Structure 1
Amino acid sequence: MRNRIMRAARLVLCAAAAHAPVSASAAGLDISKASSNFELVTLGDAELSERSIGVIHMGNVELTSGRIVAADPLAQPDRPALARRVAPGDYPVTLYQAFGRIAAAGMRFAEGKPDHWELAVLPGQDVATLKDGEIFGYPVDAGLGCYMDADTLALIEEREAQVQAQKPDADINYYDDVLASDLDANKGHYALHRPMAGKKGNVAVFWSGWGDGFYPVFWGLDKDGRPLALLTDFGLIENADGRREPKVQ
């Protein structure tokens, strides 16, 4: 199986970059302490390279309903979609690489620099209930993260059933029997996976930083609150800079 480093779930709290606008409107959460890497989505490839950050333009994720699932696709594929929706469409996913691993994953919905950032939540989650040092995010137990539309889960289940029908006496593992070949084409780091050929709906799958853990997702919004970007921070870098690896807390 893929090479990954196992770590206990942890929350990395970073000092905010002075030029990164943040939202402090939610009581109980200082989002500037949750990530200092919001600038990643505003820098060009050349600027990121100067900071020792590699950029991987994966291609577009097809959001057929606009309900985005950010999760470990193997450990929790049926995780609920984020509470905020976007218009259905095809949106580009960019991976930010440092120290040979994926430091963050972004999705773009419109051009422009976000005016402020908010923590992405699931329906029923309320940031006002968070205590100091707490944050919402998703758990990783298979060393992977993803972006996909909530409707794509049905295609994953359809593919799994198809493989099972071809191997009726075998125990089917979606990674080994389906996903591994896509990931292997990119050294196991990422894949734009289409569960069912000919059907709209795919999954952007990528390494999750150092591996297993607990990772927050953030919305980059314009001044009117419209989503411009989504960012998953894997706690690998600080201040959008890959020249020095942060110390593990």
Structure 2
Amino acid sequence: MPTKEWLAEYEKKRAFTRCPNDLNAYFTLDMLAGKRLDRLSLGPVSLPTGRVLVRDPLVYLDDEEEPYFQTVPAGEYEAVACVVVPADGDCARYAAVRVCFTDAPAVRFEEALLGSEDLSAFEDGEYFGFNVDAGLACICDEAARDAFCVFAALWSDAHPEENLYDDYFAALFAENYRKHPRYQREGGDWLNWEVPGARLHMPIFQSGFGDGTYPVYFGYDGAGNLCQLAVQFIDIEMAYGEERA
């Protein structure tokens, strides 16, 4: 949990955590910056504790990874991707993925934080984000993180010469493509994975343009209640706006 000192600094800098984009537009508009947008359901995400993480599941999801200090309403919710529809030879790009916890619309988005970041030099226009090195991200609960770590350790012990993605996940992604080819490449771009032995759903999905550092935002409604989580992979207006110029 964050210290009193950290929370005091956070309140001073909180305005800097605001998302510069209206992420609602990603999930309501059909066109933005000259690009056609669509939505794609990635299935349920299980959040039994309300302590949520967004990480690269193949590189940065271990038992030392902490959830965001803000908790969300416990339950099971639908994860939905905003897709930049394929055009001009490019593949479908997942610009953002969100989870709505209530029906209330978000009126502002603020970056999700761990409560341990160094805020001393944090300025407007910056973000902390999470790192992606395997082209994938996931949304999961702290309980799913623990179950994943147990599974991954047991699998690795049983398959010491094999790779978790190539020799386990790749076949699942390919099968999901065969079942749900819409807005996926042949090898698969998303998977609603149920952690073996845990009955917890953990959506895994492509990270827009691939590896990088990406912000995660919590949406707050007009009453100040947390109502959404949104992972932003692509600033659509920045990435594609120049194409219209």
Unmatched runs of 5 consecutive residues or more in structure 2? 1-10, 87-91, 178-184
Instruction: Please state whether the residue corresponding to 1:214 is helix, strand or coil.
Output: strand
Mapped to 1, the partners of 2:172 and 2:144 lie a distance apart of 17
Give the conservation status (yes or no) of the 8 Å contact 1:72–1:146.
yes
Cα shift readout 1:59-88 (whole Å, capped 9, x = no counterpart): 110112111111111110133111110122
Mapped to 2, the partners of 1:41 and 1:133 lie a distance apart of 20
Q: For residues 160 and 42 of structure 1, do their structure 2 counterparts lie closer, same or farther at Cα, with a shift above 3 Å needed?
A: closer
Structure 2 equivalent of residue 143 of structure 1: 135
Cα shift readout 1:80-138 (whole Å, capped 9, x = no counterpart): 11111012210110001114111111111001211222111112236564135421100
Structure-2-length-normalised TM-score: 0.76
Structure 2 equivalent of residue 211 of structure 1: 210
Structure 2 equivalent of residue 12 of structure 1: none
Kindly indicate which of the two structures has a greater share of residues assigned to helix.
2
Mapped to 2, the partners of 1:113 and 1:135 lie a distance apart of 23
Q: Alpha carbon RMSD of aligned pairs, Å?
A: 2.6
Structure 2 equivalent of residue 194 of structure 1: 194
Structure 2 equivalent of residue 38 of structure 1: 23
Instruction: Please state whether the residue corresponding to 1:52 is helix, strand or coil.
Output: strand
Give the conservation status (yes or no) of the 8 Å contact 1:28–1:128.
no
Structure 1 equivalent of residue 36 of structure 2: 52
Structure 2 equivalent of residue 95 of structure 1: 81
Unmatched runs of 5 consecutive residues or more in structure 1? 1-24
Cα shift readout 1:146-178 (whole Å, capped 9, x = no counterpart): 1001111222233224434543xx324221232
Q: Does structure 1 residue 174 correspond to structure 2 residue 174? A: no
Q: For residues 41 and 237 of structure 1, do their structure 2 counterparts lie closer, same or farther at Cα, with a shift above 3 Å needed?
A: closer
Give the conservation status (yes or no) of the 8 Å contact 2:16–2:125.
no
**Aligned residues between the structures:** 213
Mapped to 1, the partners of 2:110 and 2:100 lie a distance apart of 15
Mapped to 2, the partners of 1:128 and 1:108 lie a distance apart of 31
Structure-1-length-normalised TM-score: 0.75
Structure 2 equivalent of residue 116 of structure 1: 108
Structure 2 equivalent of residue 85 of structure 1: 71
Structure 1 equivalent of residue 221 of structure 2: 222
Q: For residues 233 and 77 of structure 1, do their structure 2 counterparts lie closer, same or farther at Cα, with a shift above 3 Å needed?
A: same
- AA aligned to 1:111 is D
Mapped to 1, the partners of 2:225 and 2:232 lie a distance apart of 20
- AA aligned to 1:102 is Y
Mapped to 2, the partners of 1:203 and 1:146 lie a distance apart of 7
Q: Does structure 1 residue 245 correspond to structure 2 residue 229? A: no
Q: For residues 31 and 87 of structure 1, do their structure 2 counterparts lie closer, same or farther at Cα, with a shift above 3 Å needed?
A: closer
